[in-house]
Chains A and B, each alone.
Chain A
Amino acid sequence: MLSRVADSLYWMSRYMERTDGILRMLRINYASSQDDLQNFSWKPVLSIFTYLDPGGAAAIAHRSRAVLQYMVTDRENSNSVLNIVTHARENARSVQDHITKELWQCLNDFYHTIRDEQIVRGLYADDPVSILDVLIRQGVLYYGITDITMARGEGYAFLNIGKFIERGVQSADILAVRFSDTQFDSSLTDPSYWKYLLLSISGFEYYLKTYRSGFDARNVVEQIVLSANFPRSILYSVSRLQLHFQRLKGDGNREAFQRIEFMIGKIHSKVQYSTVYSILNQGLHSFLISIKEDLSEVGNALNQYYFAYT
């Protein structure tokens, strides 16, 4: 397929995954902010998903409506949901002949929804959770339509490669930010802290079923980094990345394929053959940073070997 098309599909998918992550984060954190005895701080969320400097972040960190406004509909925020959905939709628009008509229409609808005046107003005047749910559902539609209608060809492979790279990076970010805020002592933070962290990545129920005995930071690390069954874990993301990358084998460009296959394999082994103990020994923060860097290198290599068309 055209390099430009592969590039557009890859980024469209990354943007949609990012949108999903942001919306879920916002939804849960808003609920948490309504529950907090101390002054709830949005700083961690802002530092994962925006490029605000510490001063700018501090200005709105305690004002939920302002954060929602900035992160969902602010045109000046390059990572606002509005801008990201617009980018995804424009990408889809420029490769319409490579996605199904249903998929294009779904993104087009999402684009029009988030620009709807009623949405904007509802977010600031009414119950924001209802609005966020509307937007999350649009994102879920996108996943469903992609799964059901897209042919399993090269395009589908690039969509998934983008999705799982973005997911891996997001999960690493979420863990890194949370844990840099606290000293690593599992008894220090109160249980609702872990509850909301897990809720924001839809991992609460899984945790309860797997680790019945209350909240322990070590278990949270194990679930988010090492679990093969939890769909947002880093191990899961990298495994799926590896699987979907295999689909590109035999499409010419053998040297490039082997190089990137090697890089992905290394990351997979690094995660698969770690234990909570080994990670904490190395330092959780430095482990997560190294994973992020490795994934970023894979992205660069994809750019260099598959997408370069200028």
Chain B
Amino acid sequence: MQTTELLNNYLVDPNTWDEMYSLSSVRHQYEGVVGVLQQMSVEELNKKEELAKRLFMSQGITFTVYSSGEGIEKIFPFDIIPRIITAGEWNYIETGITQRLKALNLFLKDVYNNQFILKDGIVPCDIVYSCPHFLREMHGFPVPYDIYVHIAGIDLIRDADGTFYILEDNLRTPSGVSYMLENREITKRLFPDLIPKNKVRTVTEYPAILHRNLSSLSPRQTSQPTIVLLTPGIYNSAYFEHTTLARLMGVELVEGRDLVVDNHRVYMKTTGGLQQVDVIYRRVDDYFLDPLVFQPDSLLGVAGIMSAYRKGNVAIVNAVGNGVADDKAIYAFVPAMIRYYLNEEPILKNVPTYQLGNPDERDYVFSNMNRMVIKKTNESGGYGMLMGHSATDEEIHRYQQEIVKDPRQFIAQPIISLSSAPCYMNGRLKPRRVDLRPYALCGPEGIRIVPGGLTRVALREGSLVVNSSQGGGSKDTWVLAN
């Protein structure tokens, strides 16, 4: 089969913004890629897919599913066709996320100190205090430069008219950046010369920027502060990312058992004795971080680390307690935060969100259930979600009962028709829904966002759920230079 047929048979879903096709023609940013695809046969494209799979396997870019003592290597599915964003679109996204992150940091500082935003009634007290991730231990807690979110993954989607919306903030331990980096490396192998020809901006500076930011947070003023990346260990599904980041930044990868706190300072156990640690980039959740303060039976953390943190003897990235700002119920108030702290109109809009604790909003949602997505406020990975348009009556009824029992645990949003992008599947080009997660890095010198990020794809036909645990995959994301 010739590939011109591939493109001719590409059928976009109705009422959907397609990243590549606009009504009748290919968007100009995709012309380069389409030109190359048209010159390749299906056999060649299949070979490229095979090459990608082999490269992922042999380089160990896998996550391991452990069952009955055996580790089964799985590849996070990768689609070879890149997703392309124009320079203009990116500028818009970049300014919007920068603004949003600034406001979120200010919110965290406020909510853990003077709480002006609560006292002025902009954000309801009860929503904050009933959030399970609002940690009273962080009240009045000093953090370096008042930065709480050093690394953020902000999820964006595109509606049928092409407008970008913020779907979700991830401010605790956002993951996937290693896939952003590896997808780019794989694409360079699959399509030689294509990236320079299309003037795609580089993503490889991410580790360097992050390393610089981490260094600047060190409490000890030395030229080579000791930075470590704290991982839960090899059984964690994101372990590959932890090793990649540690390797690219040249920092030590440690587990909880490698660290010890003595006299409110954190040390690593080395063959040469104890060595003091200055900055910890931790990929362990808040609850498991310190068994003396949070979960007492946690084996992943370090006893006493919070006391070292409070004394300012060690910096922790991201700060503890950020979960109150990425709670899905609080999400609805972020535009209000931008107005309150920055006196600006939000550049990037939220998806309309209904607070189910509010009776009027709840009634509206209940009478429009098949146009709504119901989400649990404190779950992730696509769990605890109901897609109203494809759920059975029984499921809908069950969710309604749960909502009535504990409305704070749920929010509702109208189902957005996510944008679609071409995917190469079984010798054909098919449109599949995508989202975008750019990674923003916040340091004492400002906020920098690496151009691109991770594009996640809902590989199952008709699905709007892109999470990896629900059968999602990823694409390389290109931001063009002009």
Q: Is the CB of A2 within 8 A of B258?
A: yes
Contacts of B272 in A (CB 8 A): 251-253
Which single residue of chain B is at the shortest CB-CB distance from A307? B271
Which single residue of chain A is at the shortest CB-CB distance from B250? A97
Contacts of B271 in A (CB 8 A): 1-3, 6, 154, 248, 251-253, 306-307
Which single residue of chain B is at the shortest CB-CB distance from A154? B271
Which single residue of chain B is at the shortest CB-CB distance from A92? B60
B283 CB to closest chain A CB, in angstroms?
14
> CA separation between A176 and B468, bound complex, in Å?
55
A309 located at the interface, meaning its Cβ lies under 8 Å from any Cβ of chain B in the complex = yes
> CA separation between A267 and B42, bound complex, in Å?
66
Q: Is the CB of A2 within 8 A of B269?
A: yes
| Contact of A93 with B270 at beta-carbon distance under 8 Å, contacts A105-B58, A105-B59 already known | no
> CA separation between A125 and B268, bound complex, in Å?
51
Which single residue of chain B is at the shortest CB-CB distance from A253? B272
Q: Choose among A4, A93, A112 the residue that contacts B258 (Cβ–Cβ < 8 A).
A: A4
**Chain B 260-315 interface residues, beta-carbon cutoff 8 Å to A:** 268-273
B236 CB to closest chain A CB, in angstroms?
11
Q: Is the CB of A253 within 8 A of B273?
A: yes
Which of A101, A248, A252, A310 has the most B CB atoms < 10 Å from its CB? A252
Contacts of A1 in B (CB 8 A): 270-271
Contacts of A6 in B (CB 8 A): 271
A39 located at the interface, meaning its Cβ lies under 8 Å from any Cβ of chain B in the complex = no
> CA separation between A262 and B413, bound complex, in Å?
72
A227 located at the interface, meaning its Cβ lies under 8 Å from any Cβ of chain B in the complex = no
A304 located at the interface, meaning its Cβ lies under 8 Å from any Cβ of chain B in the complex = no
> CA separation between A154 and B270, bound complex, in Å?
11
Contacts of A142 in B (CB 8 A): none
A94 located at the interface, meaning its Cβ lies under 8 Å from any Cβ of chain B in the complex = yes
Q: Choose among B233, B253, B258 the residue that contacts A3 (Cβ–Cβ < 8 A).
A: B258
Contacts of A293 in B (CB 8 A): none
A108 located at the interface, meaning its Cβ lies under 8 Å from any Cβ of chain B in the complex = yes
B326 located at the interface, meaning its Cβ lies under 8 Å from any Cβ of chain A in the complex = no
**A interface: dominant SS:** helix
> CA separation between A307 and B71, bound complex, in Å?
26
B58 CB to closest chain A CB, in angstroms?
6
Which single residue of chain A is at the shortest CB-CB distance from B253? A97
A104 located at the interface, meaning its Cβ lies under 8 Å from any Cβ of chain B in the complex = yes
> CA separation between A112 and B258, bound complex, in Å?
30
Q: Mark B222-263, 1 if CB is under 8 A from A, else 0.
A: 000000000001100001000100110000111101100000
Q: Choose among B59, B233, B243, B258 the residue that contacts A97 (Cβ–Cβ < 8 A).
A: B243
A301 CB to closest chain B CB, in angstroms?
13
Which single residue of chain A is at the shortest CB-CB distance from B231? A94
Interface residues on B, range: 20 to 34
Contacts of A105 in B (CB 8 A): 58-60
A96 located at the interface, meaning its Cβ lies under 8 Å from any Cβ of chain B in the complex = yes
Which single residue of chain A is at the shortest CB-CB distance from B245? A97
Q: Choose among B59, B234, B269 the residue that contacts A94 (Cβ–Cβ < 8 A).
A: B234
| Contact of A2 with B247 at beta-carbon distance under 8 Å, contacts A105-B58, A112-B57, A253-B271 already known | no
> CA separation between A295 and B390, bound complex, in Å?
67
Q: Mark B174-200, 1 if CB is under 8 A from A, else 0.
A: 000000000000000000000000000
Contacts of A253 in B (CB 8 A): 271-273
Contacts of A108 in B (CB 8 A): 58-60
Q: Choose among B59, B239, B246, B257 the residue that contacts A4 (Cβ–Cβ < 8 A).
A: B257
Q: Is the CB of A97 within 8 A of B234?
A: no
A109 located at the interface, meaning its Cβ lies under 8 Å from any Cβ of chain B in the complex = yes
Contacts of B239 in A (CB 8 A): 93
A90 located at the interface, meaning its Cβ lies under 8 Å from any Cβ of chain B in the complex = yes
Q: Mark A77-111, 1 if CB is under 8 A from B, else 0.
A: 00000000000001001101100010011001100
> CA separation between A265 and B253, bound complex, in Å?
34
B96 CB to closest chain A CB, in angstroms?
35
> CA separation between A148 and B197, bound complex, in Å?
36
Contacts of B58 in A (CB 8 A): 105, 108-109, 112
Contacts of A112 in B (CB 8 A): 57-58
Which single residue of chain A is at the shortest CB-CB distance from B273? A252
**Chain A 5-28 interface residues, beta-carbon cutoff 8 Å to B:** 6
> CA separation between A105 and B271, bound complex, in Å?
26
Contacts of A101 in B (CB 8 A): 59, 247
B444 CB to closest chain A CB, in angstroms?
26
> CA separation between A310 and B257, bound complex, in Å?
7
| Contact of A3 with B270 at beta-carbon distance under 8 Å, contacts A93-B234, A97-B252 already known | yes
Which single residue of chain B is at the shortest CB-CB distance from A306? B271
Contacts of A104 in B (CB 8 A): 60
| Contact of A90 with B234 at beta-carbon distance under 8 Å, contacts A104-B60, A109-B58 already known | yes
A98 CB to closest chain B CB, in angstroms?
9
Contact sample, A vs B, 21 pairs, CB 8 Å cutoff = A2-B258, A2-B271, A3-B269, A3-B270, A6-B271, A93-B239, A96-B60, A97-B246, A97-B247, A97-B253, A101-B247, A105-B58, A112-B58, A252-B271, A252-B272, A252-B273, A253-B271, A253-B272, A307-B271, A309-B258, A309-B269
Q: What 8 pairs between A and B have smallest CB-CB spacing?
A: A252-B272, A96-B243, A97-B246, A97-B247, A309-B269, A251-B272, A306-B271, A94-B234
Given A2-B252, A97-B247, list of 5 further CB < 8 A pairs?
A: A2-B271, A4-B257, A96-B243, A108-B58, A109-B58
